[in-house]
Amino acid sequence: MKKIITFALLISFISSCSKAQFSDYFSNQTMRLDYNHVGNSTEEHFAFDQMVNDGEWAGSKKNLIDQLKLGKYFFEIKDSKTNTIIYSRGFSSIYGEWETTPEAKKEWGSFHESVRFPWPKENAQLILYKRNFKNGFNKVWEYKINPNHHRSFKTPIKNHYKTTDIVVNGKPENQVDIVVLGEGYTKNEMDKFRKDAKKFAEVLLNNNAFSEFKDKFSIRAVETPSPDSGLNHPHQDIHTRSALSVTYGAFDSERYALGFDNKTIRNAASAVPYEYTAILMNDSIYGGGGIYNLYITAAVDNAFQEYLFVHEFGHHFADLADEYYTSSTAYEADAKQLEPWELNVTANADPKTIKWKDILSPNTPVPTPWDKKEYDKHSIATQKKRVEMRKAKTNEKIMEEFFIKKRDWDNNLLSNMEYSDKVGAFEGAQYKSKGLYRSAANCIMFTRHNMFCPACKRAIRLIIEQNTK
């Protein structure tokens, strides 16, 4: 069983690196191990599919061992001869979210997934762990990796996609490498896709959590033309197929957009060096999604495109939790309140031991008073009205105006309180009104605000350093 690294101990991680030497165990190629993940709310199973060469290794060759241990799942690669852990990473998955939905109590689900790591020179062992209720990890699958397996595609995929370098600041091994894919863009809309990809890069790299690290990022775009413009919207009676099969309505949540065709998405992404994936949706209806170490989706023609780009990337890049709690979700949380593993929310409001105790503002009470009653009353009424408008299939422009008014109201209230600019412990986070806390009154993970809170900023910095040092 592995222990979660406390927030204070994470600071010492910055100077740490893997004991395993890259060249001792790996060639400079990327192994993508595909498998099928099948189960329901009470059991799950894994089955090997194939091993694919995803091109030259784009990740760090120094920080091979993941000390952060974020995500619902975690995998290790061990050298078979010495039993040495030579690579590890945390991640989350569509399955990991789906199993918490009501559907999983009634039906079985099957999801195709991948883990990526440097190509082992010799036989190795993949060990997959799942986070348990005590916030440790239990082994759920083990697979013997034979690089010469008859279902091992050792030759890199030949790139047949058109690609564009948006921002390239150095060698992939020293950079955070992001691939931008387009969904719902026709062949005649590729100019628009490239403009949208540049907009995504500009918005992300000028955000308050990323701007000081601009030179640590490289962003490349891959064109994936669709037969029709726009995406599938089952709740809006709009039905279409697109290049990557991304669809709104994931888990029967109207605005949640996911792509379930993992192989197609992965094959397209591998046209360029990448560690993180942004799927831009050529659509005007508000929506998107973000899963840690999988991808983000975000609508590009909505008034909140910039918010979607950055908010969803926060989930994908640093495993940031949603800090809002008045919006309905499809997930069913466990009744027990445990300390979340995410670095931006906590169940511990003790100022002596809270995970961001070293950045608490002096003379700020913890828990921190805020105008929660007034906020809750307004937000609950807004959510009720939103549901009614969506059911009535209200025009998207009217919906945007509705959301803009809500954003302006939120910003006005949350920026004019006694402790608005302080780091404390503000109750209400991660879908729960009571018992969970966030570090600031407002944050892009809480409302449609445009900046990250201090706890989120530090989590993002730690991920950047893990990828670039």
Q: Convert the pLDDT of each residue in 41-90 to its tens digit.
A: 999 999 999 999 999 999 999 999 999 999 999 999 999 999 999 999 99
Does residue 287 sit in helix, strand or coil? coil
Number of CB atoms found within 10 A of residue 333's CB: 11
pLDDT of residue 329: 52
**Structural domains of the chain, ranges and CATH numbers in brackets:** 7-156 (2.60.40.3250), 163-318 (3.40.390.10), 345-466 (no CATH)
Half-sphere exposure of residue 291: CA atoms within 13 angstroms, side-chain side: 20
Residues 375-384 have pLDDT tens digits of: 999 999 999 9
Task: Find the range with the poorest average confidence among 169-173, 177-181, 233-237, 280-284.
Answer: 233-237
pLDDT of residue 16: 43
Residue with the larger pLDDT of the pair 10 and 433 = 433
| Whole-angstrom distance, CA of residue 19 vs CA of residue 28 | 18
Q: Between vectors from CA 214 to CA 29 and to CA 246, what angle results, nearest 5°?
A: 60
Residue-averaged pLDDT of the chain: 93
Does residue 399 sit in helix, strand or coil? helix
Does residue 433 sit in helix, strand or coil? strand
Confidence of residue 17 (pLDDT cuts 50, 70, 90): very low
Percent of the chain at pLDDT > 90 equals 88
pLDDT of residue 338: 83
DSSP run (H or E) holding 280: strand 276-281
Examine residue 454 and say whether the peptide bond preceding it is cis (omega within 30 degrees of 0): no
Q: 398: which 2 tokens?
A: 């009217």
Predicted TM-score (pTM) of the model is 0.93
Q: Between vectors from CA 243 to CA 169 and to CA 312, what angle results, nearest 5°?
A: 50
Confidence of residue 20 (pLDDT cuts 50, 70, 90): low
Distance spanning both ends of the chain, measured CA to CA: 27
